[in-house]
Amino acid sequence: MDEALIRSLTPGVLTVLVRRGADFAAAEDAVQDALVEAVRGWPDDPPRDPKGWLVTVAWRRFLDASRADTARRRREDRVEEEPAPGPASGVDDTLQLYFLCAHPSLTPSSAVALTLRAVGGLSTRQIARAYLVPEATMAQRISRAKRTVSGVRFDRPGDVATVLRVLYLVFNEGYSGDVDLAAEAIRLTRQLAASVDHPEVAGLLALMLLHHARRAARTAPDGSLVPLAEQDRGRWDTASIAQGVRILQAALARDRLGEFQAQAAIAALHADAPTAGETDWVQIVEWYDELARLTDNPVVRLNRAVAVGEADGPRAGLAELATLDDTLPRHTAVAAYLHERDGDLDTAARLYAEAAHKAPDLAERDHLVRQAARLNSRHRHGR
């Protein structure tokens, strides 16, 4: 069995059934039944038209389920309308599926799970492992999401921005279990970029590629975090960086700036610097200004304070930081870093320890604890 082929065909087959009138939940169940049949039969007798085979079998499974359900008796008239077996349509309806899975009635976690299942073609078990939750829990989440969007019809264009937010959430989950969600998000965003001509889709794809290019250098052999300034840039994926920059440049040339393009521009400036000391922080601050104008996001302003501290000195960064809410995530860690840059090691050590208690995950907590210990050690040794 070619798993990559199956996953690439699944969303198209599902969309065909939905377009024919099947509600989403019933269509998804029918497609899963067809995939089970494919696993059983294809190794010995592969079809000439895999998508057409899946559409035919899934549609028959849907009709069988409709006949058996008395509450859906009204659908029996579709039996006479069953299309004759033959080559499947070459039209790519996957974009419609993206909009359905990112429906505003769904919670972000449900939208992500449904996207991975329906568009990504992942099994419930794979998604559960990626999110480190029991399979039964994930199955319930997906079932609720399917019921929520059942009956939804597309009588107006979907919201691309909502789809992009869902894909960005998938990307930020990174890697856990047996599924690399960052790589999966890149694959799905490439697929979306092939379906819709939108500069922000290109901007998100560029951003993902530029961030993912640094993945190998982000952790030490013992699993500890390596800050950007200390990463071995020789381990960065230069091919992904070059591709991300090309995609970004083409998007920016259309003069329809969005937040993902601005984020990608910042990532590109980091990737372009041969060393941390050669980073163009002045231009990064300018891009953060654009990003703040587009989003008015306090986290963006927090990151901008770091950039100002690099471009204009730590005291300028601390002045920017003083204008922000000190309950913001990572505010204390940023304050610690800027105080260290300003030479106030006692304050920095205290703030690093305080930030460690607020860290959102174990890896970041351990990194901040090490930073505090490093400064305390220097203080004890007279430096």
Tokens standing for 145?
Answer: 């999401």
pLDDT recorded at residue 87 = 46
Q: When comparing pLDDT for 3 and 306, which is higher?
A: 306
pLDDT recorded at residue 208 = 97
Report the C-alpha gap between 62 and 40 in whole angstroms. 19
Report the C-alpha gap between 128 and 147 in whole angstroms. 19
**DSSP letter string, 317-382:** HHHHHTTS-TTSTTHHHHHHHHHHHTT-HHHHHHHHHHHHHH-SSHHHHHHHHHHHHHHHHHHHTT
- Of the pLDDT bands very low, low, confident and very high (cuts 50, 70, 90), residue 89 is very low
Q: When comparing pLDDT for 68 and 345, which is higher?
A: 345
In sequence order, what are the residues at sequence separation of 6 or more whose Cβ sits closer than 8 angstroms to the Cβ of residue 167? 115, 185, 188, 189, 192, 204
Say which residue the tokens 């013992």 belong to. Answer: 222
| pTM, entire model | 0.79
Q: When comparing pLDDT for 45 and 84, which is higher?
A: 45
Instruction: Choose the most confident range, by mean pLDDT, from 1-5, 148-152, 223-227, 377-381.
Output: 223-227
- Taking residue 275's Cβ as centre, other Cβ atoms within 10 Å add up to 8
- Of the pLDDT bands very low, low, confident and very high (cuts 50, 70, 90), residue 211 is very high
In sequence order, what are the residues at sequence separation of 6 or more whose Cβ sits closer than 8 angstroms to the Cβ of residue 266? 284, 287, 288, 291
pLDDT recorded at residue 205 = 98
pLDDT recorded at residue 9 = 87
Q: What is the mean pLDDT of residues 165-174?
A: 85
Phi-psi domain of 159 (left: phi exceeds 0; alpha: psi -120 through 50; beta: other): beta
pLDDT digits 0-9 by tens, 287-317: 999 999 999 899 999 999 999 999 999 999 9
pLDDT recorded at residue 93 = 58
Report the C-alpha gap between 147 and 265 in whole angstroms. 39
Residue type at position 169:
L
Q: Angle 200-259-187 (CA atoms, 0-180°, nearest 5)? A: 45
Q: Is the pLDDT of residue 80 over 50?
A: no
Q: What is the mean pLDDT of residues 15-35?
A: 89
Q: When comparing pLDDT for 120 and 321, which is higher?
A: 321
pLDDT digits 0-9 by tens, 237-273: 999 999 999 999 999 999 999 999 999 999 999 999 9
pLDDT recorded at residue 331 = 97
Q: Is the pLDDT of residue 70 over 70?
A: no
